[in-house]
Structure 1
Amino acid sequence: MKYLSILLLAVIPLVAQPQPDSLRPAIVVDMAPDHEREIRLRGEIEDLILDGEAVTLTGADGVGFLGIYTEAENGPARGSVVLLHGRGFHPDWQDVIHPLRVGLTRFGWNTLSIQLPVLDKAASYYDYVAVFPHAGPRIEAAIDRLRRQHPGPIVLLAHSCGTHMAQHWMLHAEPAALASFDAYVGIGMGATDIGQPMREPFPFDRLSVPVLDIYAEDDFRAVRLLAGVRRLQLEANGHPHHAQVVVPGSEHYFVDRGMALTESIGAWLTGVGGQDRRP
């Protein structure tokens, strides 16, 4: 364990520290999401939703966006989960989000999967950095809707680029916003494109809620390399219910492994993630 800690400390500067600006590709500071593409995505999926109800939410920035709300099965809900999809996808994406938004209802959770800002299909991680600020109003609108609908705990769950958007919000949000949810599930945290290191750190030092760090056995290299960094940061945070879980036989998009992913997350939520910490 001593040698492992030394090794991880040696790796942190290589994979987690920001690069000097002179070494980074140019990044646009702010960019408008592709709202027309969001409209097209909604048109493609809305009539195909069999489980749940399509709803329209509006953020504090005045932008309307799609959400899919699904109620818990079999009795009163334990609480509610906001789901944030990966880069360029939609709130009913088949390989991660659909299995979770439907499967977690069987564990007793309401789910609200929301459309995050999207760009052109060819956009990279560094392109998406410019639209991260546009995700915050959507996250807050989703949490606010669930808080008004159900008195139980609220969980924020994100996958891949959705974790970057959630992290950006957590790093810049007011303390009251960070007190509006009760647990965080990050799936495949740290995923970026080759040659494009993370632009922002993990936000664990700002959180007082339990965190589940879950990733695939054959996840992207950056996700796996940063697993030790995330574990050390979660340990430093000190919450007794933090956990790090690897889903065997899976890759970053959990193709054909949605059930295993759902069961791992559902079990954690049942055990420790469903405690309401709001007054």
Structure 2
Amino acid sequence: MKIFSIFLLMVIFCTCVRASDLEKEDRMRAQVADYVMDGEVVFLKSGLRDFLSIYMASEAQEVKGAVIILHGRGLNPNWPELVYPLRTGLTEYAWDTLSIQLPVLDNDASFYDYMDILHEAHPRINAAVEFLKQKNIKNIILLAHSCSVHTAVYWLYENPQGGVNGFIGIGMGSTDTGQPMRKPFPLDKIYIPVLDIYGENDFPSVRNNAARRLNHTQQAGNTKSLQQVIPGSDHYHSENNAILLREIVDWLESL
């Protein structure tokens, strides 16, 4: 009876632990990979599985480094609204880009659901860094938008020697209504340069926590860290992709 009870508890626990939707990711991968016109589709290894990434090399004579790009919740590494303009646009300013597919859930999944699988993406960031290092790229910047900022920040916090020299967070603090962040970003413990950039008309969860983020970033003490607001822009910067790119490039050039 005791053994059966332990077994039953294990079954209940296992069914409660959330995992990403691999079948959905495979479908997305097939749809996206065939339509990549700019850049090279590469499959990086994370554990026993590989995952879709898009690498685009700059044609500049002297490349300044590479930017790893993390897309928003449930999207893909070639998302046309924000990811594509950045992954292609940065190459025009002497930066290689590597846009990677993050784990996804079903369409009804909430912010808290995605927080439950946050660490599934960490080995993918490790694989992206290693891929760039194998290309002898040493100056690596991590860029994340929306929900993936949570993934990126905690990867940086847990991997202070992870090989990344700067972080760009676009729309930091994005959550769902009624699902606030369980704890603030540990930006006071992230000592590399941080660009916290968001829109004037961004989500309330992003705007309302801006002062706290700035305070914590300043506590980390890196003088190259910056918080920037794009006037008139929303969370997705739909009409301001060129301005967003220019602000990011200006900050990168200040490092």
TM-score relative to the length of structure 2: 0.91
Mapped partners of 2:36, 2:75: distance in 1: 15
1:49 — aligned with what?
36
* Displacement of 1:175: 3.8
Cα displacement string for residues 168-208 of structure 1 (whole angstroms, at most 9, x for unaligned residues): 3233x24432xx10000000000000110112431222222
1:195 counterpart = 2:178: yes
* Displacement of 1:33: 0.8
* Displacement of 1:151: 3.1
SS at match of 2:54: strand
Mapped partners of 2:27, 2:61: distance in 1: 35
Mapped partners of 1:74, 1:41: distance in 2: 32
RMSD: 1.4
2:23 — aligned with what?
36
Instruction: Write out aligned runs for 1:74-85 (5 A).
Output: 74-85=60-71
Q: Which consecutive unaligned segments of at least 5 residues does structure 2 have?
A: 1-14
2:166 — aligned with what?
183
1:231 — aligned with what?
214
SS at match of 2:138: coil
Q: Which consecutive unaligned segments of at least 5 residues does structure 1 have?
A: 1-27, 273-279
1:58 counterpart = 2:45: yes
Moved more, 41-50 or 95-104: 41-50
Q: Is the 8 A contact 1:79 1:150 kept in 2?
A: no
* Displacement of 1:221: 0.3
* Displacement of 1:29: 7.2
TM-score relative to the length of structure 1: 0.83
2:226 — aligned with what?
243
Mapped partners of 1:125, 1:111: distance in 2: 27
Q: Is the 8 A contact 1:29 1:130 kept in 2?
A: no
1:70 counterpart = 2:56: yes
SS at match of 1:250: coil
1:253 — aligned with what?
236
2:81 — aligned with what?
95
Q: Is the 8 A contact 2:186 2:216 kept in 1?
A: no
Report how many aligned residue pairs link the two structures. Answer: 241
Higher relative contact order (CA 8 A, sep 6+): 1
Mapped partners of 1:110, 1:203: distance in 2: 28
Instruction: Write out aligned runs for 1:148-163 (5 A).
Output: 148-163=134-149
Amino acid at match of 1:176: Q
